[in-house]
Amino acid sequence: MVSCAAASYRRAMPESMTLTPETRELIDTREWSELWQPAGDIALANHGSYGRTFLAVRTLHAAIEVETDQDPARFFRYDHHDRIEAAADEIGEFLGVPADHAVAFTHNASTAVLEAVGAYATPQGPILTTNLGYGGIRYGLVGLAPRLATSYEEVELDSIGDAASIGDAVLEAVEQYTPSVIVLDQISSATAMRLPVEALIPAIRALSPETRIVIDAAHAAGMERDPVVAGADAWVSNLHKWVCASTGTAVIVTERGSDMAPAFRSWTGDEAFPRSFTWIGTDAKAAYLSAPLATQIMDRLIAAGLDEHITKILHDAGDELAEAWGVSPDPRPEGSAAPWMRLIEMPIRSLTQQELNGASLIIRNQLKTDVIFTQFQGSTFIRLSAHGYNTLGDYERLVEAPSVLSSY
């Protein structure tokens, strides 16, 4: 159902904020790579780390910045509140957010998780997460816990365990610690695996009713259809990854009218959610206001077969590399794989975290391909990801990766 704010927002949209005939034609004729800035001589096989912004969104972003600077007082004092909230409603429609929940913008999923934990954590129970959580968030939670007069605990999960073993380990930890808040990844960045959050949420509720549940869905928006998981206290996701909005665009979803507020409150900080997040200060808003255009492009791409395009590329690339390297094509348990990412074991020694970063740079320099490596259970893996601009050729350069890294 289209909200009144979103409907009004659409009617008020200038032509530049909706799909142009040129963009529609690029999508319909499958000239998808033209939707992004040309990548140069580096094959981008690692979309999942930082994402890329649609050219049309970049153009709109720049136009909104010009508009803001032409009359800042009008924009910030009179216009931006309603426009931000209407844009958030548009995003909510794309994500399938239920009517009793709302969307607020923030800069990235990491800050959104920390905002939610800061609102929910109490001294009565620790902050609990897992070893599969994103490293930046885990570091943030470690630092946040003492400021909230609580502690930090981490569940050690089998990195590529099946849903049953992961679920059992999480519930055992909930029973042991009775956390005030738990942070669970919907998709683990390190393993490109989907965790069984739909089953875990009601199980945690039954075991520890007072525990607040935060879902880090940084990779879910765009990659999954109707990605918002029911029953969580807060759900957060990036829009600059798979939705291809401007860099630094993310959302937090929670109950409409709740007392969720940013850690650093400003003019609207004492109002009910989502307005509590609308004006945290004089901040750039163009990324947020241009995000609905990214969802329009994604909707049309998905209808044109984006899922099938990405799945086939990663399937063919992964199988080709696994055969060339003599390794298993995919170590992840059946049904757990994130659809737009692929994990392949490297036939090299286990690398340290510092060495992993160095390995990525070597591959970038010698094979002209951007990739990311990860390490767990004594093995080194390469994580591939793809979007509409990728072709099989972007990954075929990696056949020589083990030999390039053999002396590293």
> Which tokens in the block code for residue 397?
């350069």
**What per-residue string of b and e applies to 216-247 under the rule 16 or more CB within 10 Å gives b?**
bbbbbbbbbeebbbeebbbbbbbbbbbbbbbb
β-partners of residue 386 are none
What's the whole-model pTM score? 0.93
* pLDDT tens for each residue of 96-106: 999 999 999 99
* pLDDT tens for each residue of 7-45: 444 434 445 578 999 999 999 999 999 999 998 999 999
| pLDDT given for residue 10 in this prediction | 42
Whether 203 has a pLDDT exceeding 90, the answer reads yes
* pLDDT tens for each residue of 233-260: 999 999 999 999 999 999 999 999 898 8
| pLDDT given for residue 324 in this prediction | 97
* pLDDT tens for each residue of 328-368: 989 999 889 999 999 999 999 989 888 999 999 999 999 99
* pLDDT tens for each residue of 110-162: 999 999 999 999 999 999 999 999 999 999 999 999 999 999 999 999 888 89
Q: In whole angstroms, how large is the CA radius of gyration of the chain?
A: 21
| pLDDT given for residue 2 in this prediction | 43
For each of the domains in the chain, give its residue range(s) and CATH number, in order of start.
80-297 (3.40.640.10), 306-405 (3.90.1150.10)
CB 128 within 8 A of CB 183: yes
